[in-house]
Amino acid sequence: MVQPQDSLAASDKEPLRTIALDRDTHFVFGLQWTPLLGGRPAQVGRDRARVLRATHYLIGSEPSAVLGYCRVLNARRHHKPVLHSAAMQYAQTHASGSVACVLPHQEYGFWVVAAHEGTVLVQSDKWFSSAEDVQELLALLAQRFPALVVCWLPAFDPAEPPEWLRVSPDAFSRLTRLRKRVLQRILLWISVLASLLGALLLMTQEANNSVIESTPDASVRWREVMQRISDTYPIHTSLHIARVMEDWRQAPIYVAGWKLKQIQCEPKVLDWRCIARYQREHRLALNRTLELSAPKGWLFQPFDLDTALLTWTVRQAAAPLDLAVGQERDDWMSYLQQVSPLFELVQVGVATRLAITAPLDAQGAPIDRPDLMPLWQKRSFVVKGPMRSVAALSGLSAPLHWRNVSLSVDGMSGSGVARSQLVVQFIGDLFETIQ
């Protein structure tokens, strides 16, 4: 691996550096990143990159859409190498959790990249001249992502690059060159003419063909759409939450100078990913002691000198929700009003209709919803209180999808029967059919 030539340089204020894998492939360090809102991220991202006068761009669409872009001088002269984003390469090879990497360079300074669940964080992919500036950025990221794991690499050596940089780049990290508008207009006119010719040909075929194809069954098509939405919101019953909390009880609260401060779990399809944060409270406490005390199957991850993490996965602790079948009417609000004194906070949001795009028929027109297909709405739902009060939620019959469940140790929040040192917080959505 060799250093790049100076023929590629950024015209933006932020520095842009490249590292060559071979003559035709270069990794770019120092893209600008911005989130993309709304639908059609490919079109919105391309238009946004053009407004920003970028010469190259790429779009990361999972799990959230972001635009990475840069302006490269001499981009249309001499040799035209294939450019790949180093930040996207890092994110794709670290597709789970919250991670960050610091890569020192003797000439350029310190490069910092961060990713969450395979998405590049827009504050990263930057060069800094001092380690103090790096620490300031990492501190800001850690406030947003408490489970952030930071890796400091040794000074960059072209002969021994980081392992994630050695992985062959794929299409996700490849930068797209923006074409001139003249060419785009030509392609647009070609596309329009092709569409018109296709429409004329179709009309001719329909006039000569008396056989009319039958429209697909509306119920089947709607069930397919509802199934895709259902996969996005797996339901967590009281039995599923009990399985998650059963693992919480395995986490040692005090162990050889270490103390449990927090447990946080987030769903991943039908599984749960959990992180327990420990604080070092004695100067003789060692990482290996905590690692040996971890339950079987749990992974130890040092965070810094005084903080360590234990991570694990709870398998198959969720169930799919069949949106094609309506729910029986139940007065769940009265039930929550009865059990609310047991909690410090019970908050239910205003109902919003669950957005579902209608399937299309063979002619591209939306298919009407079958009369028997139920309408759904959801509400944001937050519960906070003592760990012992969670059992009261088992009587809640409405379908629940929890996006985050956590346990704080020594929080001492609440008052009266809701006061406790072991405080849980559930954040999610409650689903109900529209009658």
pLDDT digits (tens, 9 = 90+) for 362-413: 777 888 877 777 888 888 999 999 888 888 888 888 889 999 999 998 766 6
CA-nearest of 13, 9, 12, 45 to 28 is 9
Both tokens assigned to 256 = 């050889």
Predicted pLDDT of residue 218: 76
Distance CA 150, CA 138 (A): 8
DSSP letters of 46-64? Answer: HHHHHHTT-SEEEEE-SSS
- Average confidence (pLDDT) over 325-329: 72
2 found inside a domain: no
375 found inside a domain: yes
Predicted pLDDT of residue 215: 43
Domain boundary among 264, 279, 314: 314
Same domain, 18 and 118: yes
CA angle 143, 144, 146 (to 5 degrees): 65
Predicted pLDDT of residue 216: 52
- Which region among 4-13, 116-125, 301-310, 417-426 has the lowest average model confidence (pLDDT)? 4-13
Handedness of CA 303, 32, 107, 118 (dihedral sign): positive
Q: For the chain, give the number of residues.
A: 435
Same domain, 232 and 333: yes
Contact 424, 384 (CB under 8 A): yes
195 found inside a domain: no
Output the pTM of the full model: 0.49
Same domain, 17 and 159: yes
- Average confidence (pLDDT) over 335-359: 87
Domain boundary among 314, 331, 346: 314
CB environment 298-326: b (16+ within 10 A), e (fewer): bebeebeeebbbbbbebeebbeebebbeb
- Average confidence (pLDDT) over 307-328: 85
What three-state secondary structure class fits 167? coil
Distances (CA, A) of 232 to 63, 126, 235, 264: 12, 33, 10, 21
Question: Is 76 a residue whose pLDDT tops 60?
Answer: no
- Average confidence (pLDDT) over 89-107: 89
Q: How confident is the model at residue 361 (pLDDT cuts 50, 70, 90)?
A: confident
Same domain, 262 and 308: yes
Same domain, 28 and 137: yes
Question: Is 210 a residue whose pLDDT tops 70?
Answer: no
Residue 381's contacts (CB-CB under 8 Å, 6 or more residues apart) are 347, 348, 349, 400, 426, 427, 428, 429, 430
266 found inside a domain: yes
Same domain, 171 and 254: no
Same domain, 165 and 27: yes
Contact 225, 359 (CB under 8 A): yes
Contact 382, 425 (CB under 8 A): yes
Same domain, 367 and 307: no
Same domain, 266 and 364: no
Same domain, 27 and 123: yes
Structure-model confidence comparison of residues 319 and 414, the more confident one: 319
Question: Is 198 a residue whose pLDDT tops 90?
Answer: no
139 found inside a domain: yes
Total number of domains in the chain: 3
Domain extent, residue 159, equals 9-177
Q: How far apart are the first and last CA of the chain?
A: 65
> Residue 17 CB: number of other CB atoms within 10 A?
21
Both tokens assigned to 63 = 């799990």
CATH number of the domain that residue 269 is part of: 3.30.1360
Question: Is 51 a residue whose pLDDT tops 80?
Answer: yes
Distance CA 408, CA 425 (A): 8
Predicted pLDDT of residue 137: 92
192 found inside a domain: no
Distances (CA, A) of 397 to 169, 238, 319, 433: 48, 10, 14, 13
Domain boundary among 314, 347, 373: 314
Question: Is 158 a residue whose pLDDT tops 90?
Answer: no
Share above pLDDT 90 across residues of the chain, in percent, rounded to a whole number: 27
Contact 358, 367 (CB under 8 A): yes
